[in-house]
């Protein structure tokens, strides 16, 4: 349909060979290792008027690890730790793990669905904290680091609401009662196990009102649920069931407010719904729309600019459906490949702007990894040049950095459509 889509599709079919050639040719490996595919998340609940329980978790999918052939099929090992530090850099707590895991088949060893959850609990007071997760592969010795910030500065307020915690039914003890598994809210499945939302916070002893809603808007005063509660201890933890039929859009917000007298506290949590045909790499629809700018046609760009948020979501789905090389299936291979390249570019080509917005990022997203890379460096002059050769499309692209800071600019003539 579009020439650039054909190029993308051809390079998608050659993806595995392309990755190998990228490694041989010297494309930077920073961030390209599978080890960076783990996640770190922190969830909170009040345990006293001046302290909060932090449930910290590292999610390690099989695909983040290097599996080796073993007697039982395939095996891998890793070391991990998670720590919590305050604003001054003082460590509040830390927990470490060393694990060995088995997979029966190669497909299972590359699975993103098989995830190993490592959970630790800490107790903190008022302040700003950083949750840091480290993961190292036992075989490759490659390591990754992920961080998340926890803002609890307003814990000293008389009325204070923590971020809502989305809970899904899953067997095990995950820090929030039996079989209650906390979700990050990103890429949530529709039609799976039952969901509930935990609202926890601080109030003065007495009666208070808790209001909440699931909305498409960042701000709301139209509360779906409004209930009165009484606290004798000055803290509360209340749960409500979340009907999945309320989760109709791709991106939604859980909004909540606690009111007591003239004082109140609000929170908002974004959630991202999984939909058939949407890449798992997408966690922010608005950003994903912006990242389409390299392949959008002029009329498509105009439609997006003229649309409201709900219409933009539908246009986004429509644009990718029109580019789906295998319509009628639940997977859009072109979309998956495109956003995998976006993610790689974000990790490897960042300079004075996000990696996917750079010239190198643009070319990588459109054409994939080059078959060969030529390097020329003159450190004394602060000058570097990289030439990417793509044999399958018979093209080369030259990037020059005359700043000495890795800010490579494309010097080969190339028609931009944005």
Report DSSP letters for 268-298, one per residue.
EEEEEB--TT--TT-S-HHHHHHGGGGT--H
State the pTM of this model. Answer: 0.72
Coil, strand or helix: which one is 164?
Answer: coil
Tell me how far CA of residue 393 lies from CA of 215, 335, 363, in angstroms. 46, 20, 13
- Which two three-digit tokens encode residue 299? 């009329």
Whether the per-residue pLDDT at 129 is higher than 50: the answer is yes
Q: Specify the domain boundaries for CATH 2.60.40.10 within the chain.
A: 32-151, 157-274
Instruction: Check if the beta carbon of residue 389 is closer than 8 Å to that of residue 372.
Output: yes
**Top-confidence residue, 333 or 398:** 398
3-state secondary structure of 341: helix
Residue 417 has pLDDT above 70, yes or no: no
If pLDDT is split at 50, 70 and 90, which confidence band does 85 have?
Answer: very high
pLDDT in tens, 362-405: 999 999 999 999 999 998 888 999 999 999 899 999 999 998 88
Give 144's DSSP letter.
E
Q: 353-364 pLDDT, tens per residue?
A: 999 999 999 999
CA pair distance 334, 326, nearest whole angstrom: 9
Assign domain 32-151 to a CATH class: mainly beta
Mean pLDDT computed over 162-169: 92
Question: What CA–CA distance (Å, rounded) separates 367 from 269?
Answer: 36
* pLDDT (0 to 100) of residue 96: 98
d(Cα 333, Cα 108) in Å, to the nearest integer?
A: 20
Instruction: Find the radius of gyration of the CA atoms of the chain.
Output: 24
Q: Which CATH architecture has domain 157-274?
A: Sandwich (2.60)
Residue 115's pLDDT is: 94
374: tokens are 């030529």
Structure tokens at 241: 């069931």
310 three-state secondary structure = helix
Beta bridge pairs of residue 42: 56
pLDDT bin (cut points 50, 70, 90) of residue 21 is: very low
């Amino acid at each position: 349909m579009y020439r650039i889509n054909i190029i993308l599709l051809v390079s998608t079919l050659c993806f595995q060979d392309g990755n190998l050639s990228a490694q041989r040719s010297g494309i930077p490996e920073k961030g390209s290792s599978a080890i960076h595919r783990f996640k770190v998340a922190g969830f909170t609940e009040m345990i006293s008027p001046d302290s909060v329980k932090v449930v910290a978790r590292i999610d390690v999918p099989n695909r983040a690890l290097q599996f080796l052939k073993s007697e039982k099929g395939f095996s891998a090992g890793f070391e991990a730790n998670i720590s919590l530090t305050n604003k001054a850099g003082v460590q509040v707590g830390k927990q470490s793990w060393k694990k060995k895991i088995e997979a029966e088949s190669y497909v299972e060893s590359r699975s993103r669905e098989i995830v190993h959850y490592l959970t630790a609990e800490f107790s903190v007071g008022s302040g700003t904290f950083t949750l840091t997760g480290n993961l190292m592969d036992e075989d490759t010795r490659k390591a990754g680091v992920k961080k998340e910030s926890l803002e609890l500065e307003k814990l000293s307020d008389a009325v204070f609401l923590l971020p809502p915690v989305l809970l899904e039914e899953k067997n095990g003890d995950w820090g929030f009662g039996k079989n209650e598994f906390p979700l990050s809210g990103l890429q949530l499945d529709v039609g799976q196990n039952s969901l509930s939302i935990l609202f926890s916070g601080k109030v003065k002893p007495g009666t208070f009102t808790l209001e909440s809603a699931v909305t498409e808007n960042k701000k709301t005063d139209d509360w779906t649920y409004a209930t009165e509660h009484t606290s004798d201890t000055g803290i509360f933890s209340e749960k409500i069931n979340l009907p999945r039929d309320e989760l109709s859009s791709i991106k939604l917000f859980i909004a909540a407010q606690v009111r007591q007298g003239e004082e109140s506290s609000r929170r908002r949590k974004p959630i991202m719904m999984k939909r058939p045909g949407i890449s798992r790499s997408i966690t922010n629809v608005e950003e994903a729309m912006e990242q389409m700018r390299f392949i959008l046609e002029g009329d498509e760009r105009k439609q997006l600019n003229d649309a409201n948020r709900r219409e933009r979501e539908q246009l986004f789905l429509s644009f990718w459906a029109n580019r789906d090389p295998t319509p009628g299936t639940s997977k859009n291979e072109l979309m998956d490949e495109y956003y995998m390249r976006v993610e790689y570019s974000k990790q490897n080509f960042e300079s004075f702007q996000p990696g996917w917005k750079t010239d190198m990022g643009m070319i990588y997203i459109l054409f994939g990894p080059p078959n060969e890379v030529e390097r020329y460096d003159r450190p004394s002059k602060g000058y570097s040049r990289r030439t990417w050769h793509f044999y399958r499309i018979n093209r080369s692209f030259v990037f020059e950095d005359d700043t000495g800071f890795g800010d490579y600019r494309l010097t080969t003539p190339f028609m931009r459509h944005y």
